[in-house]
Structure 1
Amino acid sequence: MQRIIGKQAVLHRYEDLMAYECDGYTIHKGVPAAVIFPANTQEVSAAVTYMHKHKIPFIPRGAGTGLSGGATALNGEVIISLVRMNKLLDVDYLNRKAVVQPGFINLKLSNSISTKGYYYAPDPSSQAACTIGGNVGENAGGAHCLKYGVTTNHVLGLELVLPSGEIVRIGGLPDSPGYDLLGILTGSEGTMGIVTEITVRILKKPQGIKTVVALYDDVNDASQAVSDIIAAGIIPAALEMMDNTAIEGVESGNYPVGYPRDLGAVLIVEVDGIEAGLQHQIDEVLEVCRKHHVREVRQAASVEERARWWANRKTAFGAMGTISPDYLVQDGVIPRSTLPFVLARVGEISQKYGLRIANVFHAGDGNLHPLILFDSRIPGQQQDAVLAGSEVLQVCAEMGGTITGEHGVGIEKMEDMRFVFTEQEIEVQIGLRQVFNRDNLCNPDKIFPKPARCVEVKQHLATVRETAISN
């Protein structure tokens, strides 16, 4: 690796590798064999070609902000960090697109084009740190995906290094004929190749933005308001909710806004678009909120107040550290109409395991982020948190939803894939992955559980061993 990309671009000492033992999902950890930092597509290709030849497994990594263990080296893989590939290569304002390298920070793109009146729509809460390459891998969303969609809706083309080392280009033209390879690759979690260049859609900034906050004593009233806002024909740019435990966390964090600690829930509703007519939409939102026993509802009085509300909401995950030593965040999706029932089930799961669960979610599109609070120093609590998280996802699947909206599967939700797919469907998807990643070297053994037949055989062998030992 040092010969291929340079001595200074390779980490191999144990004390250096420790910084790469996990991503934002900290429950499972593994030290990689090495971490390499290629500077361009050709270096990525050369490194991958070498590892493919010698059957060395490898994992692409962005900023390490992922929340499902997708960038964790469980079996001593080589991590290919793309943080040096962090340039904005081109902006085409006439055709409303930009070309970036995978290590380019999400928020930096909007900041780079804002003076021309443009922005990049996908806005994960970690947008100040996460990379667009990582967003492509996980198909990241964000608060404003209700109206504008997730990453896959904004990717126009990709340059990709296949697991063999071959460099290919996918897409680049709107409505390209043939199979939707961009759709397959976006959200494939680095298991089909390494993205080295991304062409994305950029949007003109809306003429106006107006934001409302609504404070509720009962989370069920807030949930009903969510459904009624959509039913009224209003499509907000964002529709976010936090429950009482989440409010406790954010008000103890770095960006408190003064929410009363006894609230049942907070709603943030934002509409944008042509200035004419926006206030009418806000008036309708205010009217809907007042129909559901709202304690207080008001429109942001200034740009600064709106910014404070969003800073408070977007730092919710980190703020949980003020009220709990550890937390596990889940990422289930449900139909909006089932929100009160699912939240009640989440409360039951919380009581069952004796663990507090803070609910922070993109309420408008039913993307829940239950934060399961625990203390890893107490024996058994971490395992209980994992079991509680899996039960929450099962509830989501039972309600007609799914197990992830934007965080991906990684290693965290592999077994939970069985909540939404049959064994045959899982095997078909594994077969599709093998078209790109035949030798399973590129981010191996992620996303999909082992086939049930293998699991049954292992369980049988374990029983045989236990019986032999006891005899």
Structure 2
Amino acid sequence: MRKRPIATNDPHIQALARIVGEQAILYRKEDLMAYDCDGFTVHRHLPRAVVFPNSTEQVAAVVKYCHEHDLPFLARGAGTGLSGGAIPLNGEVVISLTRMKRLLHVDLENRRAVVEPGFVNLKLTNSVAHRGYYYAPDPSSQYCCTIGGNVAENAGGAHCLKYGVTTNHILGLEVVLPNGEVIEIGGNGVPDPPGYDLLGLLTGSEGTLGIVTKITVRLLKNPEAKQTVLAYFDEVEDASQTVSDIISAGIVPAALEMMDQTAIEAVEAAAFPVGHPKDIAALLLIEVDGISAGIDEQINDILTICRRHHVREVKVAQSEEERARWWANRKTGFGAMGAISPDYLVQDGVIPRSRLPEVLREIADISRKYGLRIANIFHAGDGNLHPLVLFDASKPGETERALAAGSECLKACAAVGGSITGEHGVGIEKKEEMRFIFTDEEILAQTAIRDVFNPKNLLNAGKLFPTPERCVETKMPSTVK
């Protein structure tokens, strides 16, 4: 930020500047343009201002001021979210938490750490790796996404199959409520305490119930052993059945990832190519970890299952360097789409593993219907699909076709008993698709909970739930009034 004195007659901007300091606020249009969207770039809206508090006290003061003056506001982390959760639809005051980026405390004896919300995900693992520990949730954007944002979206990652998503690793939160009150939930490390699961409620609430300003997380000890398998298949159905059979055999890999031919084309054209064959239909990246005894047996079982399903080639990483290259290639997956398409839309549905072949065939049909390529790169082990709809926004009508295709992909997931999101959240991108999996009564019950925390609906309004004008007015059951 350039150091310029406040030059506006807006009393709200002046008041916010007094709270955070004149050098910690943006309000000029040319400065605000960088905050008009997050990773979901289809919609863009300018905020009223962006403030950069450096403490819980400053966050609380900003929130209290907005609450008292009926100013809409929202929190923002690194802006890597993929569902539009940080887009200021209502000209909000954006509270950027990027200056609150300290590692406050590490307690290896009790395997926990305390961080501020702007602390970068991968940086936590790097901070404790030399002591033999790590932080398990590993979104593909972990090199830049923040733990505060992970909490808001309940982020997952490649290794969530075995270790769970963010909510499974949160022990405590400090939260600024929408009226400026500061509360603390958990943090003492007691597993499954009695009472309502407020940690679970706030984790994944997409910034609509409060603003997290401090996070106590669980740390894990590095596994004794780790091995990674790469398998190439000529048929998507063979790769899909291999996934089901690995799990059915009682093997729970740390990660079980799948990419189809279009996704492979993209990652091989991007920053970390590893030489995947261009003509294969799908690949699986499978990792097992744990105590050394038994790892080789699991790997042999996985190789046997792959061969049973006509694998063209299957190999085990021969070094940590080779394993790291395979994972770097996989984790560039979303960004790599820019190498083969001007624009792309990332979807995030979940299905039962046994329905993988069926749903992937339907996604292929949707691709043909809309005349748009759809790449599939996803966490196959837990059925979390990521269809990437490729399009060119400069061509009239393609953006609308991409959105319609993405919605149909989610409908296909819901139709087989799945969900419209596994880790990216609902935001504005999928809020109308909430009707695929919830009734009007269920949606109203959830908004009733939101209204307890956020009665003025000033905090991140217009996210997560269908718009009121499209919601059928239904009388709430007496149990949830």
Q: Same fold (TM over 0.5)?
A: yes
* Pick aligned residue for 1:130 from 145, 150, 175: 145
Q: Distance in 1 between matches of 2:187 and 2:98?
A: 23
* Counterpart in the other structure of 1:463: none
Q: Which residue of structure 2 aligns with residue 247 of structure 1?
A: 264
SS at match of 1:272: strand
1:183 to 184, 192, 200: 200
Q: Distance in 2 between matches of 1:385 and 1:246?
A: 17
| Partner of residue 59, structure 1 | 74
Please give the root-mean-square deviation of Cα atoms over the aligned residues, in Å. Answer: 0.9
1:250-303 CA distance string (max 9 Å, x none): 010010000011110010000000011101100000000000010000100110
1:165 equivalenced with 2:167 (yes/no)? no
The one of 290, 294, 319 equivalent to 1:273 is 290
Whether 1:445 and 2:462 are equivalent positions in the alignment is: yes
Alignment of 1:292-441 (within 5 A): 292-441=309-458
Q: Which one is further off, 394-403 or 445-454? A: 445-454
**Mapped contact 1:423–1:451 kept (Cα < 8 A):** no
Whole-Å separation in 2 of the counterparts to 1:258 and 1:454: 50
SS at match of 1:377: coil
State the Cα distance separating 1:452 from its structure 2 match.
6.1
Aligned-pair CA distance for 1:172? 1.6
Determine the structure 1 residue equivalent to 2:476: none
- Partners of 2:228 and 2:288 within 8 A in 1: yes
Q: Secondary structure at the match of 2:289?
A: strand
CA contact (8 A) 1:427 1:451 kept: no
Tell me, in whole angstroms, the C-alpha distance in 2 between the residues paired with 1:303 and 1:77.
Answer: 46
Q: Could you give the per-residue CA deviations for residues 170-193 of structure 1, whole angstroms, max 9, x where no partner exists?
A: 112322210000000000000001
Distance across 2 between alignment mates of 1:441 and 1:97: 33
Aligned to 2:111: 96
**Residue 454 of structure 1: how far off its partner (Å):** 5.5
Distance 2:362 2:212 in 1: 39
Alignment partners' CA distance in 2, 1:453 and 1:83: 35
**Number of aligned pairs?**
456
Question: Of 119, 126, 132, which residue of structure 2 is paired with 1:117?
Answer: 132
| Contact residue 65 and residue 130 of structure 1 kept, 8 A | yes
Partner of 1:11: 26
Q: What is the deviation of 1:451?
A: 4.0
**Which aligned pairs between 1:226-237 and structure 2 lie closer than 5 A?**
226-237=243-254
Question: Residue 398 and residue 4 in structure 1: after superposition, are their counterparts in 2 closer, same or farther (change >3 A)?
Answer: same
Unaligned runs of 5+ in 1: 457-471
Question: Are the counterparts in 2 of residues 411 and 447 from structure 1 also a CA contact under 8 Å?
Answer: yes
Q: Deviations over 1:334-383 (max 9, x none)?
A: 00000000000000000000000000000000000000000001100000
SS at match of 1:383: helix
State whether structure 2 residue 80 is matched by structure 1 residue 68.
no
2:89 and 2:462 in contact (8 A); partners too: no
Equivalent-residue separation in structure 1 for 2:124 and 2:296 (angstroms):
29
Matching of residue 156 in structure 1 with residue 171 in structure 2 = yes
Cα distance 1:454–1:289, how it changes in 2: closer, same or farther (>3 A)?
closer
The amino acid across from 1:359 in the alignment is N
Residue 84 in 1 paired to residue 90 in 2?
Answer: no
CA distance in 1, matches of 2:245, 2:459: 45
Aligned-pair CA distance for 1:140: 0.1
Q: CA deviation at 1:450?
A: 2.4
Aligned to 1:467: none
> Which residue identity lines up with residue 63 of structure 2 in the other structure?
V
CA distance in 2, matches of 1:115, 1:50: 43
Q: CA deviation at 1:156?
A: 0.3
| Secondary structure of the structure 2 residue equivalent to 1:146 | helix
User: Deviation of residue 453 (structure 1)?
Assistant: 6.1
Query: For each residue in 1:298-346, what CA deviation from the matched residue of structure 2 results, as whole angstroms up to 9, or x when unmatched?
Result: 1001100000000000001111101000000000000000000000000
State the distance in 2 between where 1:230 and 1:451 align: 42
Distance 2:87 2:37 in 1: 5
Structure 1: how far apart are the matches of 2:468 and 2:162?
37
2:277 corresponds to 1:260: yes
Q: Does 1:106 align with 2:128?
A: no
| C-alpha contact 1:58 1:443 (8 A) present in aligned 2 | yes
Structure 2: 5+ residue stretches without partners: 1-15, 474-481
Residue 51 of structure 1 aligns to a residue whose secondary structure is helix
Alpha-carbon offset, residue 75 of structure 1: 1.6
What is the rounded CA distance, in whole Å, between the counterparts of 2:275 and 2:462 in structure 1? Answer: 45
